[in-house]
Structure 1
Amino acid sequence: MRKDIEFRTEDGIVLRGWWYEGNGPGPRPGIVMAHGFSATKEMYLDDFAGLFHSRGFDVLVYDNRNLGESDAPVPGEIDPWQQVRDYRDAITWFSQQDDIDADRIGVWGSSYSGAHVLVVAALDRRVRCVVSQVPLVTGLENGRRLVRSDYWDGLRASFDADRQARLAGEAPAMIPVAFDKASDEPCALPTQDTHDFFFGPIQERATTWRNEVTLRSVELFTEYEPHVYIPRISPTPLLMVVATEDVLTPCDLAIASYENALEPKRLLLLRGGHFDAYVDEAFQISGPAQTQWFTDHLMK
């Protein structure tokens, strides 16, 4: 059974989402899930959550702050470290619910949240199992892959100008997440498959998504280095899922970072690009593998 829920973070922000509640006797193992950069829970998280739920897990899925149905004190602001703190608050809230086993909590993330769960698993020993799908592992190097080198100085200058404007009391500068029509339009995630995903059929499901984030979100992206935390995840079991043709969070960067993880760990390679991981053949392969990983490490 899926029900709508909401909970407060430590700083009082209300995050909203779904609880896939188990039917078996408690206490039951749980999985905490959120989506990636600007994405909302309706963008295929229900497919993964439903699969996990079918194998006996309670699953908490929520929209990140400033996105979707959650509170938005700064609409479109994506602060990776704030999202990490929110994951930990979500774990706290979920662990305190009746029939949830606080000693059997896993975390799942994809893309930007795939980065966050690497950090959360390294910092928070309440996490007993982690699945990181097509993760960002290094913000600066990833940013340099996405932004042409002759544009980099201009981007840095825009960060500085936005900082000065905010300090003067002006509203944060905004930038599209994906280009709308022309591939040379400035945007946060300038790949063709990003455009195709956000402006494709998913729009019918994800009605709360907005093609706009703060420019500061992009600056914070370039400063975020989750790969530093990967060696610290062990002994928590790590499954990393990587798409071999990923150009948004490049495959080679993820694999290189995976090599720094300690056991127990597993690498699952999927054919296709970044957004293929959510659908069709890749999901048919990855979904059961992720479910089995959680089952092996969270089910007694």
Structure 2
Amino acid sequence: MRSDVEFRSEGWTLRGWLYRPDAQDDAAPAIVMAHGFSAVKEQYLDRYAEVFQAAGFGVLVYDHAHFGASEGRPRQEVDPVLQKRGYRDAISFAQTIPWIDPARIGIWGTSYSGGHVIEVAAIDRRVRCVVAQVPFISGSLSAQRRTRSDLVPAQLRRFEADRAARFRGEAPAMLPAVSADPLQPCAMPGPDSYAFFSGTHDFAPDWHNAVTLRSAELSRENEPGSHIARISPTPLLMIVAEDDLLTATDLCLEAFHRALPPKDLVMVPGGHFDPYLWHFDRTSIAARDFFVAHLGATA
């Protein structure tokens, strides 16, 4: 059974879905999930949630503030600090649900939110286990790879001009999330990014191809990988794509090396978006089995 739910976080109402397992004798363990940069819950998170639900888990899936069905102004602003606090408030909300065991909650994140769950698991001991799929590791290192050094000064001037305009009360500057034109600046460059998001239009109409320019500035400041050694003793599963150019494979593997046991690594062929599509069965089952092992549901 799936029902619509909402809860408050940092002054905004966040909205999503709550999945309740069909067979349930005692309080069920639960998984809290949210999507990555600019994405909304309809972009394949329901498929993962259904796999977890079938294994006996309650699942809370929600849209980040400023996106999808959730409140938040300005719209389309990716604020990593706000989104991490949203995860922690989602855990608090899950703990109030009578049929959820408040002592058996895991978190799952992918891409940008894959980085969020690394940090949240490191600082919030209510988290009993964590799955980070193709996680964002370092804003500074990612920025160095995505932006040619000779273009950085102009980019920083755009950030400064946007900040000055917002201080005057003007609307925030916007940036495409993805683009079919390799020469057009966008938040997530590459043909695979454009193909993934444009391919979800029919079933994710709440996704919009835009983020605030400030989202890119905030991304440069986001360093979830710096927390990874502090996750232990909470169990960590990292799912990494072998040819990931968006959340670079080598950055993910280096971060995994710094994590302390208990930890597990699953490698899948392909690029950043292949875990949702071509390797959905493998990634969803790996996450399901990890949650079963550490939260105690029955697969």
TM category (shorter chain) comes to: over 0.9
Query: Shift in Å at residue 56 of structure 1?
Result: 0.2
Q: Name stretches of at least 5 consecutive residues in structure 1 with no aligned partner.
A: none
SS of the counterpart of 1:204? coil
Which of 200, 221, 234 is 1:236 aligned to? 234
Q: Partners in 1 of 2:157 and 2:213 — Cα distance? A: 12
Query: Which residue of the partner structure matches residue 190 of structure 1?
Result: 189
Task: Please list the CA deviations of residues 84-127 of structure 1 after superposition, one character each: whole Å capped at 9, or x if unmatched.
Answer: 00100000001111111110000000000000000000010000
Task: Please list the CA deviations of residues 226-270 of structure 1 after superposition, one character each: whole Å capped at 9, or x if unmatched.
Answer: 111000000000000000010011100100011000000011111
Query: Shift in Å at residue 275 of structure 1?
Result: 0.4
Q: Which amino acid aligns with 1:293?
A: F
Q: Partners in 1 of 2:121 and 2:222 — Cα distance? A: 16
Query: Which residue of the partner structure matches residue 171 of structure 1?
Result: 171
Task: Please list the CA deviations of residues 51-84 of structure 1 after superposition, one character each: whole Å capped at 9, or x if unmatched.
Answer: 0000000000000110011112210111101100
Q: Once the two structures are aligned, what percentage of the paired residues are identical?
A: 50
Query: Which residue of the partner structure matches residue 85 of structure 2?
Result: 85
Q: Which amino acid aligns with 2:80?
A: P
Query: Which residue of the partner structure matches residue 246 of structure 1?
Result: 244
Query: Which residue of the partner structure matches residue 99 of structure 2?
Result: 99
Are the aligned partners of 1:17 and 1:61 in contact in 2 as well (CA < 8 Å)?
yes
**Residue 53 (structure 2) pairs with residue 56 (structure 1):** no
Query: Shift in Å at residue 149 of structure 1?
Result: 2.2
Query: Which residue of the partner structure matches residue 296 of structure 2?
Result: 299
Q: Name stretches of at least 5 consecutive residues in structure 2 with no aligned partner.
A: none
Query: Which residue of the partner structure matches residue 74 of structure 2?
Result: 74
SS of the counterpart of 2:140? helix
SS of the counterpart of 1:274? coil
Are the aligned partners of 1:33 and 1:60 in contact in 2 as well (CA < 8 Å)?
yes
Q: Which amino acid aligns with 1:96?
A: T
> How many pairs align?
296
Q: Which amino acid aligns with 1:28?
A: A
Are the aligned partners of 1:25 and 1:99 in contact in 2 as well (CA < 8 Å)?
no
Q: Partners in 1 of 2:145 and 2:134 — Cα distance? A: 16
TM (norm. structure 1) is 0.97
Q: Partners in 2 of 1:239 and 1:113 — Cα distance? A: 14
Query: Which residue of the partner structure matches residue 15 of structure 2?
Result: 16
Of stretches 51-60 and 143-152 in structure 1, the one that deviates more from structure 2 is 143-152
Which of 256, 281, 285 is 2:282 aligned to? 285
Stretches of 4+ moved more than 6 A in 1? Answer: none
**RMSD between aligned alpha carbons?**
1.0
Are the aligned partners of 1:35 and 1:109 in contact in 2 as well (CA < 8 Å)?
yes
Task: Please list the CA deviations of residues 27-70 of structure 1 after superposition, one character each: whole Å capped at 9, or x if unmatched.
Answer: 11000000000000011101110000000000000001100111
Q: Partners in 2 of 1:72 and 1:210 — Cα distance? A: 15
